[in-house]
Amino acid sequence: MCGIVGYLGTRQAAPILLDGLSKLEYRGYDSAGVCVMSNGELKVAKSKGRLATLSGLIDGGRAIQGTFGIGHTRWATHGAPSDINSHPHIADAGKIAVVHNGIIENYLRLKEDLVRKGKHFQSETDTEVVANLIEYYYDRLQDFPRAVRRAVGQLEGSYALGILCQDFPGTMIAVKKESPLIFGFGEGENFIASDVPAILKYTRKVVYLNDGDTVIFTKDTARFYDAFYDPVEKTPETIDWDISAAEKCGYDHFMIKEIHEQPKAVKGTLSPRIRDGRVVLDDVTLSKEYLEELKRIYIVACGSSYYVGCLGKHILEKTCRIPVEPILASEFRYSEPVLGSDTLVLIISQSGETADTKAALMEAKRQGARTLAIVNVVGSAIAKEADDVIYTWAGPEIAVATTKAFSTQLSVIYLIALYIADLLETIRPEEYDTIVNELLKLDQKIALCLTNDNVQKIRYYAEQYFKVHDAFFIGRNVDSAICLEGSLKLKEIAYIHSEAYAAGELKHGPISLIEEGTLVVAVATVDSLFDKTMSNVKEVRARGADVFGVTTEKHEAEIKKTVPSVITVPATHPMLQPSLTIIPLQTFAYYIALLRDCDVDKPRNLAKSVTVE
Ligand code: AGP
């Protein structure tokens, strides 16, 4: 996903832009650039490759003097990664500079029109069309804000735009539709950015722009307009993250930092929502009458968030006795789902900007279903569009591979399950109390999974298995669902082909793939299914598989009769066990990725938030 930073003030802009872009690298990109107004001219420096390449081109920003400018990291959608396709894009006559995150769906038609009107293009991008379209109107109107408004009125698709005009030094315009963009208030300086970490060093007062918003600002002023171009007052929010939360805090990578942040993150999600032993769900009001009419719950998401939904099926059906269907967002919107007022659609998204998930949410709303979003990024598009939102409060998750956001999403599922089961009286009061008490201890039990002894043991096993080419994750019931996430972690950061299977399913075909040295990760924490899972373990062991087992302490002696490599996790209520099981699976994948010299925080081909379909 692209990253945008804009600065208007009295300090040199280029170093601030480079610093801000470096805090957005986690979003995934393939090129970077800056444009600074320097001595009345729009000066651009941009290049394919990492931010360090760009910084080298402009001597860390010192080579371009000027106190306002825009910067960008690009994740290619239209046009391959290249210097010329990098942003910022300058319009034909050099009057307008633009950075953009999103997709202009009607760019080809607009480009044809502009070519006919005499505009020339250098790149293959949709963004250059925006720059030339604004310049086209500016040529006629000689009015920067009006030119932007006319051009934006013709755009179809998604866009977060930062725009400069050579004839209007000291003014910047930003426009937001579907792609995230925030405005930061400074003292004698102002900022725009795709995400908070880019400007947290300079200001904590931010506004999350809404779809259709425009802001016209100088270093001292900011005028906001809504989608109807009516002036609108914005109340800044104060970001309470400390800067370290967006840095590595001494860890080698953001991912291992965020793995170790899970006790704190889960506690931060749960404890404000458990008061005097009762679950409270912020200002979400799912009334008893509404819930009694509920016929089905869909859980719609992508990737790891979808796997939270797969766990949610087990958890919600067992406690609330309502049919639950997890469905991939990219499938949901094209599968003609059966929706209505008796359907609750749970939308799960860490970023709150995933295009497939956002589109599914809009489809659910169009069909009259109630929507409840579980989101980490405050003010994100999904958070704003859903009827209700429960924030996971995991803090910024920088590593592309999710860990603490996954765990806090799962924690919110537990809260929703208890809340609904309590209202529908489908859970015995003593069971409710037991689970609540276990929830209040969950952070400590997660911390026990991350003791130095356990981490060293996992590192040791990682050293045994990091050269494997294929891996299978097997389990039953919730263990089968958590295998999906464990398997994805190994795929996305260690680039090992891995598959998750219900343990009972292997004999129906996949077991033909098991041979000498195949790695099988066996997850066996469900007491009532332990023996059956162990039978499956023996089947694969008999065919030469290496097995790495994860179970609870009570089964350690038994599993070790068959499996040499075992990690145990503390036992908790069966409904909550996946929150502990996932910890060694995350850690195992992390250390294997390190041993394979993979780029753990920024895995190849991946982006932190997939804002294109
Ligand atoms: C997580 O490790 C993955 N990178 C990815 O599957 C992610 O969960 C998915 O893209 C959904 O993202 P979201 O939660 O921000 O919507």
Is 344 a domain residue?
yes
Question: Once rounded to an integer, what is the mean pLDDT over residues 452-471?
Answer: 96
Q: If you measure from the C-alpha of residue 565 to the centroid of ligand 1, how many angstroms do you get, rounded to a whole number? A: 30
Instruction: Specify if 380 maps to a domain.
Output: yes
Final residue of a structural domain among 222, 240, 258:
240
pLDDT of residue 67 exceeding 80? yes
The share of the chain scoring above pLDDT 70, in percent, equals 98
Residue 77: band (very low, low, confident or very high) from pLDDT cuts 50, 70, 90: low
Is the CB of residue 374 below 6 angstroms from any atom belonging to ligand 1?
Answer: no
The residue among 391, 416, 444 that closes a domain is 444
Choice between 613 and 362, residue whose per-residue pLDDT is larger: 362
Does pLDDT of 208 surpass 90? yes
Does the beta carbon of 609 sit less than 6 angstroms from any atom of ligand 1?
yes
Quote the pLDDT of residue 333: 87
Q: How far is the CA of 409 from the centre of ligand 1 (A)?
A: 12
435 lies in the same domain as 460 = no
Q: Within this chain, do residues 28 and 163 fall inside the same structural domain, yes or no?
A: yes
* d(CA 207, ligand 1 centre) in Å: 25
Instruction: Specify the number of domains making up the chain.
Output: 3
Task: Determine the residue of 258, 262, 305, 382 to mutate for testing ligand 1's pocket, defined as the one with the most ligand atoms within 8 A of the Cβ atom.
Answer: 305
Q: Which residue has the higher pLDDT, 390 or 607?
A: 390
SS3 category, 379: coil
Whether 608 is catalytic is yes
Chain-wide mean pLDDT for the chain? 94
Distance CA 414, CA 438 (A): 11
- Residues 267-290: what's their mean pLDDT? 90
- Looking at residue 329, what is its pLDDT? 97
Task: Based on the fold, state whether residues 405 and 325 are members of the same structural domain.
Answer: yes
Is residue 605 scored above 80 in pLDDT?
Answer: yes
Atom number, ligand 1, closest to the C-alpha of residue 377? 15
Is residue 51 within 8 Å of 15, Cβ to Cβ? no
Name which residue sits closest to atom 4 of ligand 1, judged by CA.
401
Binned at pLDDT 50, 70 and 90, residue 13 comes out as: very high
Is the pLDDT at 585 greater than 90, yes or no?
A: yes
Q: Do 252 and 397 belong together in one domain? A: yes
pLDDT at 1: 64
Rounded CA separation 601/175 (Å): 30
**Gap from CA of 109 to ligand 1 centroid (Å):** 33
Question: Using a 6 Å cutoff on CB, does residue 357 contact ligand 1?
Answer: yes
**How would residue 247 be classed by pLDDT, with cut points 50, 70 and 90?**
low
In terms of domains, do 459 and 346 share one?
Answer: no
Cα(154) to ligand 1 centroid in Å equals 32
Ligand 1 neighbourhood includes 388 CB (under 6 angstroms): no
Q: Which residues of 215-233 are buried (b: 16+ CB within 10 A; e: fewer)?
A: bbbbbeebebbeeeeeeee
* The predicted structure's pLDDT at residue 379: 74
d(CA 457, CA 567): 8
Domain limits for position 318: 246-444
* pLDDT tops 80 at residue 75: no
Distances (CA, A) of 532 to 90, 275, 386, 476: 64, 39, 41, 9
351 within ligand 1 shell (Cβ under 6 A): yes
- Domain with residue 48: its CATH number is 3.60.20.10
H or E segment to which residue 91 belongs? none
Our answer on whether the CB atom of 589 is closer than 6 Å to any ligand 1 atom is no
> What pLDDT does residue 123 have?
94
Percent of the chain at pLDDT > 90 equals: 85
Checking if the pLDDT of 609 tops 90, the result is: no
| 123: number of Cβ within 10 Å | 18
pLDDT band at 440 (very low <50, low <70, confident <90, very high): very high
Catalytic residue among 2, 302, 320, 598: 2
Per the domain annotation, does 611 fall within a domain? no
Quick check: 528 pLDDT over 70? yes
Q: What is the CATH number of the domain that holds 546?
A: 3.40.50.10490
Rounded to 10 deg, the angle between the 578-595 and 478-494 helix axes is 20
Q: 355 versus 282: which is more confidently predicted?
A: 355
The span from the CA of 177 to the CA of 175, in Å, is 7
- Measured in angstroms, how far is the CA atom of residue 594 from the centroid of ligand 1? 21
Residue 256: CB within 6 Å of ligand 1? no
pLDDT at 189 > cutoff 80 = yes
| Cα(609) to centroid(ligand 1), Å | 7
Residues 291, 223 share a domain? no
Distance, CA of 473 to CA of 487 (rounded, Å) = 6
Q: Cα of 327 to ligand 1 centre, how many Å?
A: 14
Nearest Cα residue to atom 9 of ligand 1: 303
Q: Are residues 427 and 570 in the same domain?
A: no
pLDDT at 539: 95
Tens of pLDDT, residues 343-354: 999 999 999 999
pLDDT > 70? residue 246: no
Residue 493 exposed, middle or buried by CB count within 10 Å (0-12, 13-18, 19+): buried
- Does residue 482 sit within a domain? yes
442-449 vs 578-595: helix axis angle to the nearest 10? 30
- Domain assignment present for 607: no
pLDDT of residue 76 exceeding 80: no
Give the residue, out of 194, 351, 403, with the most ligand 1 atoms within 8 A of its beta carbon, to mutate for a pocket test.
Answer: 351
Q: Which pLDDT score, from 0 to 100, does residue 245 have?
A: 67
Mean pLDDT in residue range 73-98: 88
Residues 23 and 40 in one domain: yes
Residues 220 and 272 in one domain: no
Give the atom of ligand 1 at the shortest distance from the alpha carbon of 351.
Answer: 15
Catalytic residue among 95, 219, 234, 608: 608
Q: Is the CB of 611 under 6 A from ligand 1?
A: no
- Do strands 324-328 and 278-279 pair parallel, antiparallel, or not at all (unpaired)? unpaired
In this structure, the answer to whether residues 354 and 405 fall within a common structural domain is yes
Residue 610 lies in a domain: no
Is 383 touching ligand 1 by the criterion CB < 6 Å?
no
Residue 303 CB–ligand 1 contact under 6 Å: yes
Concerning whether 310 is annotated as a catalytic residue, the answer is no
Query: In this structure, are 569 and 484 located in the same domain?
Result: yes
pLDDT-based confidence at residue 612 (cuts at 50, 70, 90): confident
Q: What is the mean pLDDT of residues 107-117?
A: 95
21: left (phi over 0), alpha (psi -120 to 50) or beta: alpha
**Pair (9, 121) in one structural domain:** yes
Q: Is the pLDDT of residue 233 over 90?
A: yes
Whether 257 is covered by a domain: the verdict is yes
Q: What confidence score (pLDDT) does residue 249 get?
A: 67
167/171 Cα distance (integer angstroms): 9
Q: What is the mean pLDDT of residues 105-112?
A: 91
Q: Is 376's C-beta closer than 6 angstroms to any atom of ligand 1?
A: no
| C-alpha of residue 99 to centroid of ligand 1, in Å | 25
Q: Whose CA is nearest to atom 16 of ligand 1?
A: 349
- Whether 498 lines ligand 1, by a CB cut-off of 6 Å, is no
601 belongs to a structural domain? no
For ligand 1, whether the C-beta of 523 sits within 6 Å is no
CA of 356 to the centre of ligand 1 (A): 11
Q: Which atom of ligand 1 is nearest to the CA of 400?
A: 4
Indicate the residue among 178, 207, 240 that finishes a domain: 240
Q: What is the CA radius of gyration of the chain?
A: 26
- Is residue 88 reached through a cis peptide bond, with omega within 30 degrees of 0 on the bond before it? yes
User: Mean pLDDT over residues 224-244, rounded?
Assistant: 89
pLDDT greater than 70 at residue 145: yes
Pocket test for ligand 1, best of 402, 482, 493, 606 (most atoms within 8 A of CB): 402
CA 199 – CA 320 distance, rounded (Å): 43
Contact 276, 305 (CB under 8 A): no
Closest among 532, 564, 569, 537 to 550, alpha carbons compared: 569
Q: How confident is the model at residue 241 (pLDDT cuts 50, 70, 90)?
A: confident
Interval 43-60 mean pLDDT: 95
